[in-house]
Amino acid sequence: MVQDEVRFDGRAMLVTGAGRGLGRSYAMLLASRGAKVVVADNGSAMDGADGSTDPADAVVAEIRAAGGEAIACVEDIASEAGATRAVEACLDAFGRIDGLLHNASTLPNLVSADQLSSEDLERVMKINPFASIWLTRAAWPHMVARQYGRIVFTSSSGIYGNLGNALYASAKSACFGLMRCFAVEGAKHGIIVNAVAPSVRSRMTERFPKSPFTDWFLETMTPERAAVAGAWLMSEQCDHHGQMFVSGGGRIARITLAETEGYMGEGASIEEVRDAMPGILADSSYYFPRDFSERAAKMDELYGIGAGIDANSDFAMAPIQKD
């Protein structure tokens, strides 16, 4: 064992999409460091059809052959009931759930705005933000009870925008927003929540058009070289929270939300906005709020209010009043 090696001994981890590609690499790596792993994968094709137990079973067999501990879960986590049962499978098998790494996803065909499919939208939303909510909701009370947990959602650099990718990008952007909120709530319970945006060879990226870049990408961006970042975020030693990291080919970088201080005017006319746009769009005076409270504090400073808002100790909105 390497001195000061990052270990997961005694920890129970649920990894979704773990039957192939990056998910498999996550499961294998965590298990090799002592984690008990639920290999959650229903073996379906990219369109959600043709489920099979073979991928999950194969990874479990590999982990056990290497001396690790794992079980397969073939629930459809793109359903509320299936996501809940995946968490229950971890609890039933290992008596606890210490980590949730939600890696499963799908990528619809890229189409123009007028060709967007409601069926594809539903599929990509269910497996990404919906499943993120369902899985977290089911695991949360058990993590709170132990005052410990690690949750990693999978986003994508697709959130920057590219042709035809509106459905996937919107689903992955939603995962980023979920992560930021759960990170705020989880911090007081010892639950660390982050996200990764992996660049990796997968069933998705193997659909890249043939080109020298694609050849390089598929050779360089192996799942194993991206898995280390996600595994670190699942570790007890990791105390970073509310962050999103790019990972791939040995490179790790941070993606963050930033806001400029902007233009302080009267808000009196459209023309005022027009004339202020060069300064508004200038790449200067950035600040990087980690949560709503930090942003509110900045607004307090800019407007000279002298009375901030703390949205980390209580909900920022009163409940809707019933008539």
Task: Name residue, tokens 């379906």.
Answer: 44
Catalytically annotated residue among 168, 263, 286, 287 = 168
| Residue 303: other Cβ atoms inside 10 A | 9
- Do the bridges between strand 99-102 and strand 69-73 make them parallel or antiparallel, or are there none, so unpaired? unpaired
- 168 as an active site residue: the answer is yes
Which phi and psi (to 5°) does residue 7 adopt?
A: -125, 160
- Please give the Cα distance from 192 to 179 (Å, whole number): 10
- Please give the Cα distance from 287 to 271 (Å, whole number): 27
- Please give the Cα distance from 105 to 120 (Å, whole number): 12
- Please give the Cα distance from 167 to 163 (Å, whole number): 11
- Please give the Cα distance from 46 to 278 (Å, whole number): 44
- Please give the Cα distance from 305 to 255 (Å, whole number): 30
| DSSP conformation letters of 99-147 | EEEE-----PPP--GGG--HHHHHHHHIIIIIHHHHHHHHHHHHHHHHT
Show the tokens assigned to 100. Answer: 């949730």
- Please give the Cα distance from 158 to 139 (Å, whole number): 28
Helix spans in 237-269 (H): none
- Between CA 193 and CA 200, with CA 199 as vertex, the angle to 5 degrees is 110
Task: Name residue, tokens 């902007």.
Answer: 262
Show the tokens assigned to 216. Answer: 């390089």
CB proximity list for 237: less than 8 A, separation 6 or greater: 6
Question: Which H/E stretch holds residue 12?
Answer: strand 12-16
| Residue 66: other Cβ atoms inside 10 A | 11
* Catalytic machinery residues: 168
